[in-house]
């Protein structure tokens, strides 16, 4: 085991890791940040998406040691400083963008990366941008609505 | 997965040295290697990460002449930065996997692995690109040697790929909807001295050039020029996603679409 250090949600952190320790395991087991979910562990479902130096990645398919020293943002870093929900999180609540909620951390992180690169996406761009995130409740329509709403666009009511 | 020693050299020389260790394996973006290791289909003793080597990253080019992509450049960067030089290459990079995969996966990793359904081999072969390694330059026609097989020798590291820029080109893939790999993908590139057509996802022997289509399109660069051609399905992949005949048909249909899109 080796001490691996990085910045997570703005704070300098370190935890023990082996070579094979995945970033998802480092966050969840090493740091206790269990908001990052592991769905498939095969890089298909996207529940584990976090940002590494501002880029969305699947944390189950990145070694913790490979991103030592990086700046990582997880779902725990998405709320406002006063603890209230961030804009994207609030939009997911307002538009019923989650059912069981398991995929939601990854959906929010992928949505945040999408909106950072493209602040006013079309519906098609949202769907394309969330291609790597699977919701097995199949609640995609409301997720897409939530992302469009978070970008400041008017979305049709139910 | 089995444990291993992780090393992350900052220079190519250090990486070459680290790879000479017994049981050492290069790691680029890891988007294929890591799932493979999780299934214990690969179990290296030492993993040598190449993503800390600045010299292996970036896109540079001369408009209308060539574009060079560093081996450890992620697909998302190629999609953004190669667009000005080679739009069809940038579009291909922007269609691999999904956004999170594109932020990690690299061109060097894709080529070293040579998955029979990967997208990049089609662009490299259709462009007659040159693969530069820690030891030499390898022409695309010599590089791909069948399923997961390449001209790379033990410990040899891809450092970059140089693409001559065609007059016209396009890549069209038919997605396998779950994995987003190419069920079949065709890259067509028209150069002053002729047309090259490379097909991925279809053959049991990996990426290949469809020479009949190249001859027909070199004489007449239109989808109609393919009308009389047939694709031999004897070497095509057959699985639950599509029969050999289905893939052979896709080769022809997608080549026509790529010509129309070029």
| pLDDT average, residue stretch B138-157 | 97
Domain edge (last residue) among B164, B179, B198: B164
Whether A16 and A44 map to the same domain: the answer is yes
Question: What Rg, from alpha-carbon coordinates, does chain A have?
Answer: 15
Q: What is residue B242's DSSP assignment? A: B
Contacts of A41 in chain B (CB under 8 A): 38
Question: Chain B within 8 Å of A102 (Cβ-Cβ)?
Answer: no
Residue B78 lies in a domain: yes
Domain edge (last residue) among A76, A100, A127: A76
Distance, in angstroms, between B255 CA and closest chain A CA? 24
| pLDDT average, residue stretch A2-23 | 97
Q: Which 3 state secondary structure label does DSSP give B218?
A: helix
pLDDT tens figures, A133-153: 999 998 999 999 999 999 999
Contact between B51 and A66 using a beta-carbon 8 Å cutoff = yes
Residue A59 lies in a domain: yes
Residue B25 is part of a domain; what is its CATH number?
Answer: 3.30.43.10
Question: Quick one: tokens of B88?
Answer: 């069809």
Residue A22 lies in a domain: yes
Question: Chain A within 8 Å of B26 (Cβ-Cβ)?
Answer: no
Q: Terminal CA-to-CA distance of chain B, rounded, Å?
A: 44
pLDDT tens figures, B15-52: 999 999 999 999 999 999 999 999 999 999 999 999 99
Question: Chain B within 8 Å of A154 (Cβ-Cβ)?
Answer: no
Question: Chain B within 8 Å of A54 (Cβ-Cβ)?
Answer: no
Whether B39 and B72 map to the same domain: the answer is no
Statement: residue B96 has pLDDT above 70: yes
Give the alpha-carbon dihedral of A5, A8, A13, A15, to 10 degrees: -60
Question: Chain B within 8 Å of A108 (Cβ-Cβ)?
Answer: no
Statement: residue A158 has pLDDT above 60: no
Give the residue from chain B lying closest to A106, CA to CA.
B100
* CA–CA separation, B180 and B149 (whole Å): 22
Contact between A58 and B38 using a beta-carbon 8 Å cutoff = no
* Domain span at B12: 5-49
Residue A156 lies in a domain: no
Number of folded domains in chain A?
Answer: 2
Residue with tokens 């978070």: A150
Question: What was the pLDDT predicted at B180?
Answer: 77
Question: What was the pLDDT predicted at A1?
Answer: 86
Residue B123 lies in a domain: yes
Contacts of A65 in chain B (CB under 8 A): 6, 8, 49
Question: What was the pLDDT predicted at B18?
Answer: 97
Residue B54 lies in a domain: no
Whether B176 and B151 map to the same domain: the answer is no
pLDDT tens figures, A92-143: 999 999 999 999 999 999 999 999 999 999 999 999 999 999 999 989 999 9
* Domain span at A16: 2-76
Question: Chain A within 8 Å of B135 (Cβ-Cβ)?
Answer: no
Contact between B27 and A49 using a beta-carbon 8 Å cutoff = no
């Amino acid at each position: 085991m080796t001490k691996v250090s990085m910045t997570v949600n703005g704070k300098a952190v370190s935890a023990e890791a082996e070579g094979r320790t995945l970033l998802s395991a480092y966050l969840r087991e090493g740091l206790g940040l269990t908001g990052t979910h592991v769905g498939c562990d095969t890089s298909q479902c996207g529940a584990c998406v976090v940002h590494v130096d501002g880029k969305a990645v699947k944390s189950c398919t990145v070694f913790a040691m490979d991103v030592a020293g990086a700046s990582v943002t997880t779902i725990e870093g998405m709320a406002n400083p006063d603890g209230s929900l961030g804009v994207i999180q609030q939009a997911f609540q307002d538009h019923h963008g989650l059912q069981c909620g398991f995929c939601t951390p990854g959906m929010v992180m992928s949505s945040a990366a999408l909106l950072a690169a493209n602040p006013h996406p079309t519906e098609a761009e949202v769907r394309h941008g969330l291609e790597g995130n699977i919701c097995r409740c199949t609640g995609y329509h409301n997720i897409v609505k939530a992302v469009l709403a978070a970008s400041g666009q008017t979305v049709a009511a139910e | 997965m089995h444990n291993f020693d992780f090393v992350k050299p900052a220079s190519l020389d250090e990486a070459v040295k680290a790879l000479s260790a017994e049981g050492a394996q290069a790691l680029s973006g890891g988007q294929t290697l890591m799932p493979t290791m999780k299934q214990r289909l690969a179990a290296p003793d030492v993993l040598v990460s190449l993503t800390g080597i600045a010299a292996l990253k970036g896109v540079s080019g001369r408009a209308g002449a060539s574009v060079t992509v560093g081996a450890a450049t992620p697909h998302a960067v190629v999609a953004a930065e190669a667009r000005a030089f080679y739009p069809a290459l940038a579009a291909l990079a922007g269609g691999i996997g999904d956004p999170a995969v594109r932020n990690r996966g690299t061109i060097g990793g894709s080529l070293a692995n040579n998955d029979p359904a990967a997208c990049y081999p089609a662009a490299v072969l259709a462009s007659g690109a040159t693969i530069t390694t820690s030891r030499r330059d390898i022409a695309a026609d010599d590089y791909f040697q069948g399923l997961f097989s390449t001209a790379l020798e033990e410990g040899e590291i891809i450092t970059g790929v140089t693409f001559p820029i065609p007059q016209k080109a396009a890549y069209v893939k038919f997605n396998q909807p779950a994995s987003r790999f190419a069920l079949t993908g065709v890259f067509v590139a028209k150069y002053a001295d002729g047309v090259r057509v490379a097909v991925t996802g279809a053959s049991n022997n990996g990426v290949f050039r469809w020479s009949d289509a190249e001859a027909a399109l070199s004489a007449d660069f239109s989808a109609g020029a393919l009308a009389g051609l047939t694709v031999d399905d004897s070497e095509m992949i057959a699985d639950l996603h599509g029969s050999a005949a289905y893939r052979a048909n896709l080769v022809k249909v997608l080549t026509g679409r790529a010509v129309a899109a070029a």
